[in-house]
Amino acid sequence: MYTIVTGACGFIGANLVKGLNAIGIDNVIAVDNLSNADKFRNLVDCELADYLDKQEFLDLLAQGYFDGGVDAVLHQGACSDTMESDGRYMMDNNYRYSATLLDFCLDQEVPFLYASSASVYGGGEVFRESREFEAPLNVYGYSKFLFDQRVRRRLPDAASPVVGFRYFNVYGPREQHKGRMASMAYHFFNQFRSEGRVKLFEGLDGYADGEQRRDFVFIDDVVKVNLHFLEHQQSGIFNLGTGRAQSFNEVAVATVNAFRAAQGTAASSLAELRAQGMIEYVYFPDALKGKYQSFTQADLTLLRAAGYRGEFATVEQGVAEYVKHLSQH
């Protein structure tokens, strides 16, 4: 019996494969599209039963090859570029692909865990898993929202677990291939290593420079939540963040201080780092205006009610761990 992970060469997918291996599950089929060949590096230290290209996988699925042979599907495969403007591509890659796998899992009575996104909430300030708070700002968010709606329609009759995770701002190892879509912690680390300073957006939507606030969640915590639900087999759509909004300034300060700590330098405050020119602010791009979430904070009420009791790393804790990893690679 196989555990299938789609998007397995990507950031969250690869970490999930590694997490499965850590609990003794290595009969894993990794599904992805390696048109970006460098993503293979994310799986070098993982144990797999097989790798399949996305289209090959879908063809085999349609032929019934996997019928009766799957323990669970962890579906992370999607276009995660929030600036993608090709709506047909986005809907095919994110919505239709997901719908195909949902149908398969419900038919086979196989647990289906999938990646949703906090982008479904758009510019609102209430982040609760309820229809009245959902208003995506871009086609990426809409593709995730529409699939969540499909899941809601199917859940009452589902004979096997279906779990959607609305990921907030995830950061951590194995995201280096994502380019401009990688986390701010990753970009801040590389900026500081090469230039001795980090750059943040100036203020917007009533927020001071760098004070836009997001719910930043460390990848290790994302893996723990997925594995918890894989074991306990409950259904629903859940926020997956920390429940704390922290500013981009806090991410920048944590990154710079973690980097400098490795060199024996004492921590500095935001004001001190600004005065020394280590943190500066740049013009907010017009292309993002009206499509940008200046504030996110996961409401964890449903996640906690479903039985997940794990604590989530703060930005200071998670970024320190991440910087240590980046410094070694």
Active site residues: 140, 178
Instruction: Show Cβ contacts of residue 179 under 8 Å, excluding neighbours closer than 6 positions.
Output: none
Instruction: Show Cβ contacts of residue 87 under 8 Å, excluding neighbours closer than 6 positions.
Output: 139
Element (H, E) at 149: helix 139-154
- Give the start-end residues of each E strand in the chain: 2-6, 28-32, 50-53, 70-75, 112-117, 162-167, 169-171, 198-201, 213-214, 216-218, 236-240, 246-247, 279-282
Closest CA to 137 of 156, 119, 162, 112: 119
Provide the pairing of β-strand 2-6 with 70-75.
Answer: parallel
DSSP state of 80: -
| Rounded (5°) CA angle 229-103-157 | 70
Closest CA to 108 of 151, 141, 65: 65
